[in-house]
Amino acid sequence: MNTQIIRHFILASVCAALFVIAPKLSAQSLLIENVTLIDGTGGAPVAGVSVLVDGGRFAKISAGNIDTPSDVSVVDGTGKFLMPGIIDSHIHLPGGRAGAGNREMVIDRPFGLQSLAAYLYSGVTAFYDSGNNAEYIYQMREDERAGHILSPRIYATVSLIAPPEGHGCCAGGTVVHDYEDGVKKLDALFKMKPDLLKFTRERRGMGPVGRNIPLLEQDLMNKLVAYAHENGIRTTVHVSEVALARDSIEAGADAFAHTVYLDDANMDFAKELVDNGIILSTTMTRIEADTSFLDDPLFVATIPEDARNEIRASERFNGSPYTGWLSSLRPAIMKNIKTLYDAGAILAAGTDRSLGPFPHQELRVIVESGIPPLEAIRIGTLNAAAYIGVEDEIGSIEVGKLADMLLLTADPSVDISNTMMIDSVYKGGVWIDRAALDVPANR
């Protein structure tokens, strides 16, 4: 049990004596009083706010007290900070492709459930699965929406669209050969209701030694993106370089699953993104080559020691040429992100790392890139919701939205690392009992 959990127990005991304790796993009314609100829209923190949650949604937000019936559960927010639940706009939920090299479609559902627990424990209340074993992620999403499992809100492409032998083809991807084949396969996929359909457009692959891999024909991609739109489904594209990003804009893409890695994002390109309303998932922790963040308490609490050691020993971090390549990319990618931000492009926090606490590291790298913490918070909440296309439902603390929120013990607008100082996590107004979640800290 870590100190944060101990603190939570102490707090819970104090609250129990003074107030009605926060509700446990029921969407009854809840009032958080006298809290400093950071609503996720980028606005300055506001102190002394009361937030009323009813029926799982924000019902009233007031600068002072809110008169409520006596059966409302009250949480004293004095000295605490309330922000929206964090959203990761790019993961691949572990447990769907558990075979060697993540290419065998072996389902390990218990492992998946542990991953979901780590996300919730880390204050991540929603994510977009950017490509997985279709059968696995579809079922997880169904179970989450039916309330059968304890999980962040799951949104998914279900299966991404790739060319034969192209990027993403062979780890649960849907391979399309021509338009006729593509329409048939997209129709089948649409029955599984992708929330946002992902394509890949990558000719090098990631790594210090690029190798040429096939791309979808531009004309075919244009037609398939249009076909998705005709069916009311937005699209995101894996890109890593400017030329292919431009192809994707030409095809009518709505979002990019990464920022560009391999080129400088100059102002002309940034302006194209802005003019076309493209939202980019940042995925900068994907290029981290330094493991020091793995020792932060939240990472220790949620990732087993052997798994952390495995990460340290992986190519990304073990000092191999790949590590060196990532290290060399880091400053350029951070500069790209800042350029895009300055131009007014919409950035959405995403990690592509698929472990609960990683979005906190992503937010740190975003701030390190020169973006103010409050903007980073918007990038990690409201903008990430917009990337998925669910910004009317989640992503900010505004009346009418689902009450996904974090109560923090320290101010993240002063130090973005304070997003990790989690007192409580709520999904749809329901308090998540973090001490009961299946994570290493509780085992």
Contacts with Zn ion by CB under 5 A lie at: 130, 352
How big is the CA angle at 408 (ends 405 and 410), to the nearest 5 degrees?
150
Q: How far is the CB of 130 from Zn ion (least distance, A)?
A: 5
Cβ closer to Zn ion: 352 or 423?
Answer: 352
Ramachandran quadrant class, 415 (left: phi over 0; alpha: psi -120 to 50; beta: rest):
beta
Question: Cβ distance 427 to 152 under 8 Å?
Answer: yes
For tokens 């929206």, what's the residue? 84
The closest residue (CB) to Zn ion is 352
Cβ closer to Zn ion: 36 or 130?
Answer: 130
Question: Cβ distance 289 to 317 under 8 Å?
Answer: yes
Question: How many beta carbons lie within 10 A of that of residue 21, not counting itself?
Answer: 16
Question: Cβ distance 73 to 31 under 8 Å?
Answer: yes
Q: How far is the CB of 258 from Zn ion (least distance, A)?
A: 8
Q: How far is the CB of 131 from Zn ion (least distance, A)?
A: 6
Write the DSSP string, 240-296.
Answer: -SHHHHHHHHHHT-SEESS---SS---HHHHHHHHHTT-EEE---GGG----GGGGS
- Quick one: tokens of 181? 């084949």
For tokens 């107030």, what's the residue? 19
Cβ closer to Zn ion: 167 or 427?
Answer: 167
Residues 417, 423, 425, 426, CA torsion sign? negative
Question: Cβ distance 35 to 79 under 8 Å?
Answer: no
Question: Cβ distance 288 to 351 under 8 Å?
Answer: no
Give Dmax (Cα) for the chain. Answer: 67
One-letter amino acid at 166 equals G
Cβ closer to Zn ion: 31 or 93?
Answer: 93
**Calpha distance 228→240 (Å, rounded):** 22
Cβ closer to Zn ion: 144 or 352?
Answer: 352
Q: What is the CA radius of gyration of the chain?
A: 21
Cβ closer to Zn ion: 33 or 352?
Answer: 352
- Quick one: tokens of 51? 């937030």
Question: How many beta carbons lie within 10 A of that of residue 303, not counting itself?
Answer: 22
Q: How far is the CB of 259 from Zn ion (least distance, A)?
A: 13
Q: How far is the CB of 415 from Zn ion (least distance, A)?
A: 29
| C-alpha to C-alpha distances, 7 to 11, 296, 422, 435, nearest whole angstrom | 6, 17, 10, 11
Cβ closer to Zn ion: 280 or 407?
Answer: 280
Q: How far is the CB of 314 from Zn ion (least distance, A)?
A: 16
The β-bridge partners of 76 are 33
Q: How far is the CB of 281 from Zn ion (least distance, A)?
A: 9
Cβ closer to Zn ion: 68 or 130?
Answer: 130
Question: Cβ distance 436 to 1 under 8 Å?
Answer: no
Q: How far is the CB of 13 from Zn ion (least distance, A)?
A: 42
Cβ closer to Zn ion: 236 or 396?
Answer: 236
Q: How far is the CB of 286 from Zn ion (least distance, A)?
A: 8
**Calpha distance 77→268 (Å, rounded):** 46
Cβ closer to Zn ion: 2 or 102?
Answer: 102
Q: How far is the CB of 323 from Zn ion (least distance, A)?
A: 19
**HSE-CB for 133 with a 13 A CA cutoff:** 20
